[in-house]
Amino acid sequence: MSNELTSLFTRIGIFAVLIAVFFWMYQDPQRDESGSIIQSGNIDPLELFVGDCYMESFALEEGEFKDSSSVDAVPCSALHNNEVIGVFQGLSWSKEDILSKDAFEEMSEKCIAEMIIYTNFQNEYSDEVEIFDTKYGMNILFTRLGTSEEPDPDRKFSCILSNVSELTKTSVRNYFR
């Protein structure tokens, strides 16, 4: 076999391996008929639904932002540290509005209301509230800011409960039931 042919087959082989690695690393999660994730995969965080769980390998301090184009979505029965408890769309905010304190407070109020419903919270004096407060923190994930200064009626944000103390294999849905 000539050197040119060997070189061509080597390049084709390397290309095939790279394609296989790409599809293995960036495989979308699989969902069942109800929409629940049944097999792990990478997904744009803005495509997560209420009830989806995912693994995040970093912790943000208050006021920090991170732009992430994908997260490792997993079934809630697999190890994870984040769970989507609410998704909102249609709040027509400009880039400047999103970065304001008023917008953050409005998003926080919506997320807290969703957390109460999602976890079935009923009694603020429960001993379980202290345990819950030490384990979970609220994060707000919103659409990429983009470059437009104009309000965007399609801009959305998600409310995330993050387990700050450990990885878990359980959902926070109906935690207080």
Handedness of CA 86, 91, 94, 96 (dihedral sign): negative
Number of domain units in the chain: 1
pTM of the model: 0.74
Domain-embedded: residue 13: no
Domain-embedded: residue 101: yes
13 contacts: CB under 8 Å, gap ≥ 6: none
Domain-embedded: residue 108: yes
Amino acid 161 reads L
Domain-embedded: residue 172: no
Domain-embedded: residue 25: no
CA distance linking residue 98 with residue 3, whole number of Å: 59
Domain-embedded: residue 171: no
Kindly state the average pLDDT of the residues 107-123. 87
The pLDDT tens digits for 18-63 are 776 665 555 789 999 999 999 999 988 888 999 999 988 655 555 5
- Alpha-carbon distances, residue 156 vs 47, 144, 164 (angstroms): 10, 9, 24
Rounded (10°) CA dihedral 19, 25, 28, 32: 120
Instruction: Residue 37: name the closest of 23, 55, 57, 51 by CA.
Output: 51
Phi, psi of 89 (to 5 degrees): -145, 155
Domain-embedded: residue 159: yes
Domain-embedded: residue 174: no
Cβ atoms of 66 and 58 within 8 Å: the answer is yes
Q: Domain span at residue 141?
A: 31-163
Ranges 1-10, 86-95, 129-138, 146-155: which has the least confidence: 146-155
Cβ atoms of 35 and 49 within 8 Å: the answer is yes
